[in-house]
Amino acid sequence: MKIKELFEKRNELIEPIITPSIFVLACIGFYYLKSTILGTFLLVIFILFTISEYRNKQTEEDNIEQVREAINRDISDNIFNLIFPLAIIKETGEIFWANKEFEKFTPEENPTSLNVVSVARGLNLSRLLTCDKDLHQKIKIGDLFYKIYASKIQDYNLGETLYIVYFNDISNNKNIANTKESIMLIEVDNLSEVLETTMESDRPMLVADVEKTINAYAQRLKAMITKYDSNKYVLSVQDRYIDEEINNKFSILDEISKIDRGNKVEVTLSIGVGRGGTCPLENNAFASTAKELSLGRGGDQVAIKNNEKIKFFGGNTREIEKRTRVRARVISRNLKELIYESSNVFIIGHKNPDMDCFGSSIGLSAVVKQLGKPCNIILGKETAAIDYFLDKLRSDSRYDNLFISIEEAYEQINEKTLLIIVDVHNTGYILDKSIIEKAQRKIIIDHHRRSPDIVEACILNYIEVYASSTSEMVTELIQYMVQKPNLSTIEAEGLLAGIFMDTKGFSFKTGVRTFDAASFLRSLGADTIEVKKMFMDNLDDFLIIAETIKTAEVKENLAIAIAPKGLKKSFMAAKAADELLNIAGIDICFVLMQIKDDIVISGRSAGEANVQVILEELGGGGHMNMAGAQLSNTSISEAKKLLKKSIEKHLKVGE
């Protein structure tokens, strides 16, 4: 067979040249025999024959091309009208072409202006481009579930690789929406503290009650449950039960807090839920991240992570100091080593810095210099809240080269620069994002409840939600970093002022270690009278505060006030909120202030109400008793409506 095929291929190659060769040889023979007329006649016939053959071949190719175009057009029309969505994408995910069914996903936009990931949210593009059907992804678009996979094609006109993406509707396959599994991680976040306040004879019964409540909860959800530590559980639960728990706002938080075996502290849970992933492994990773957020925000709450979205429920229990000095010693040792390994140190805080932010920066700069490293504090143009203390520092020649502008810092930062971020960890509130992005070595020291928008790629995170202030945390670190901290009186006063401000004169969120830190600073010569002067209001500010309080709308124990127009000092809203809270009968208050195109909101709580959860809904953050938010491109009336809507969602007035 192989010999026969070789002969056939040889004939196919030889046959096209036999006839022309015969004509050419005949012409040459006639001319050689001096038969010019016959030779010329034969040559004319050969030329006419060649032209005819070429035209026939060209016509045949044109016909074939027309048939091919018609077939391609018919195929394209059929694909365009297929009953299931289909799109052609580039390697970047950009949509190159889509059929009519796919266009229904984006009725108001042209699909070719979008990325396929923005249409099928949660789609793993790199996994899709492997073109392995066994690695198909199940994604919900609208009310339907689709099995999504791709195949590779080559577009020679564009010179780049294209992919056909298929969307196979599987919504009716065994009710997939109800059988999809989520992962729930539960941790009893204060078990040791609860047991310490319980009589020894009642402790076994308390532990049994906790385990019984959690197991009953799992049974109610028809979930698989496994206890993997003394206070930690993992549950695999159908996704529909998670939706039911969202509607019930996770009643397990209230059920567990009602356990009473003589314990003086309520039992609380931190729960992380992972859902919407492509596999159980991914959901477990989501749940781990969510639980870390719950713990970092003070516990007693549920965090649900669904790909990029995070939702929180609960978080209404007052934080109880449960830090140990062990962690402070470990952090101080690591921080000291990182400073030694750095060429220089920059310290940066949040926008519109307050005394806690600035005081902790001053304290850190002092110990960095004592360790022999150059240090600068990055300051922006908005310094109204710290002007009194800043003017005192600038009048002292020891601090002539301490402060640096954002532009100078950006130029001087290098790969060995250590950037210490104080009193903030949310990327939206940091003084300057470009510096954060450029710095390769970053550290966070903060006491605010952990936000999902935390600065990433930090080599050290020291976030203690139970601390009264960042200044308290820095004061502790300083004592462990050097044997004899060489802080000047003014530096000690800066740290004490930070603690004084965030505790509202040692009346809020004040623990034993808060007073220990204050005592240490007092021993260094910090003058409480000088600290008090930093927070005194002049007559004009006092009148503005009074005018703001006069506008307050009071409903039961809630007050909402609006500051006068034309103000430029955003911290006036916080001062007005503090004064409102001193009025009898007001347990929770909010003050709104317009500064240019932004609306600043300050919230305060004297009781169990959580203002942080309320203002987090508006993009803000803070603590349970003290929080803030800033809205852009909106009016006072619109901001007030949004605030009231969040209050209705998270708070029952009068409870």
**Do 384 and 505 reside in the same domain of the chain?**
yes
Nearest Cα neighbor of 438 from 457, 453, 454, 422 is 457
Give the pLDDT of residue 282: 87
The mean pLDDT value for 405-423 works out to 94
**Do 521 and 382 reside in the same domain of the chain?**
yes
What CATH code is carried by the domain that includes residue 402?
3.90.1640.10
The mean pLDDT value for 595-606 works out to 87
Placement of tokens 């039961």 in the chain: 556
**Is the pLDDT at 164 greater than 90, yes or no?**
no
Give the pLDDT of residue 589: 92
Helix ranges (H only) for 221-324 are: 239-247, 252-257, 280-296
**Do 488 and 570 reside in the same domain of the chain?**
no
Looking at mean pLDDT, say which of 248-262, 336-350, 557-571, 576-590 comes out highest. Answer: 336-350
**Do 477 and 622 reside in the same domain of the chain?**
no
Does some domain include residue 517?
yes
**Is the pLDDT at 475 greater than 70, yes or no?**
yes
Nearest Cα neighbor of 600 from 568, 578, 623, 645 is 568
End position of a domain, from candidates 176, 195, 229 = 176
Give the pLDDT of residue 489: 94
| CB crowding 101-118: b at 16 or more within 10 Å, else e | bbbebeeeeebeebebbe
Q: How confident is the model at residue 31 (pLDDT cuts 50, 70, 90)?
A: low
Does some domain include residue 319?
no
Higher pLDDT, 500 or 556: 500
Nearest Cα neighbor of 628 from 637, 636, 619 is 619
- C-beta atoms surrounding 198 within 10 Å: 20
Give the pLDDT of residue 415: 92
What CATH code is carried by the domain that includes residue 106?
3.30.450.20
pLDDT tens for residues 328-357?
Answer: 888 898 899 999 999 999 999 998 899 999
Taking the C-alpha atoms of residue 613 and residue 623, their distance in angstroms, rounded to an integer, is 9
**Do 217 and 293 reside in the same domain of the chain?**
yes
Report the interhelical angle of 489-502 vs 512-523 (nearest 10°): 160
Looking at mean pLDDT, say which of 238-247, 320-329, 635-644 comes out highest. Answer: 635-644
pLDDT tens for residues 493-545?
Answer: 999 999 998 888 888 778 888 999 999 999 999 999 999 888 887 788 889 89
27 is in which domain, residue-wise?
2-79
Higher pLDDT, 643 or 612: 643
Does some domain include residue 443?
yes
Give the pLDDT of residue 19: 63
What CATH code is carried by the domain that includes residue 264?
3.30.70.270
Does some domain include residue 192?
yes
The mean pLDDT value for 643-651 works out to 86
Taking the C-alpha atoms of residue 479 and residue 36, their distance in angstroms, rounded to an integer, is 117
**Do 589 and 632 reside in the same domain of the chain?**
yes
Does some domain include residue 503?
yes
The mean pLDDT value for 155-166 works out to 72
Tokens for 634, please give them. 């909106």
**Do 71 and 104 reside in the same domain of the chain?**
no
**Do 189 and 167 reside in the same domain of the chain?**
no
**Do 475 and 510 reside in the same domain of the chain?**
yes
Taking the C-alpha atoms of residue 455 and residue 93, their distance in angstroms, rounded to an integer, is 27
**Is the pLDDT at 38 greater than 70, yes or no?**
no
Q: Let me know: does 504 contact 578? Beta carbons within 8 Å.
A: yes
The mean pLDDT value for 405-409 works out to 94
**Do 138 and 86 reside in the same domain of the chain?**
yes
% of the chain exceeding 90 in pLDDT = 33
pLDDT tens for residues 618-628?
Answer: 888 777 788 88
End position of a domain, from candidates 478, 509, 533 = 533
Does some domain include residue 655?
no
**Do 341 and 301 reside in the same domain of the chain?**
no
Q: How confident is the model at residue 72 (pLDDT cuts 50, 70, 90)?
A: low
Nearest Cα neighbor of 636 from 590, 585, 576, 583 is 590
Q: 403 by DSSP, 3-state: which?
A: strand
pLDDT tens for residues 362-381?
Answer: 999 999 999 999 999 999 98
Weakest mean pLDDT among 46-60, 248-262, 432-446, 460-474: 46-60
Q: How confident is the model at residue 226 (pLDDT cuts 50, 70, 90)?
A: very high
Does some domain include residue 487?
yes
**Do 161 and 188 reside in the same domain of the chain?**
no
Q: How confident is the model at residue 479 (pLDDT cuts 50, 70, 90)?
A: very high
**How many domains does the chain contain in total?**
5
End position of a domain, from candidates 280, 314, 348 = 314
Q: How confident is the model at residue 155 (pLDDT cuts 50, 70, 90)?
A: low
- Average model confidence (pLDDT) for the chain? 83
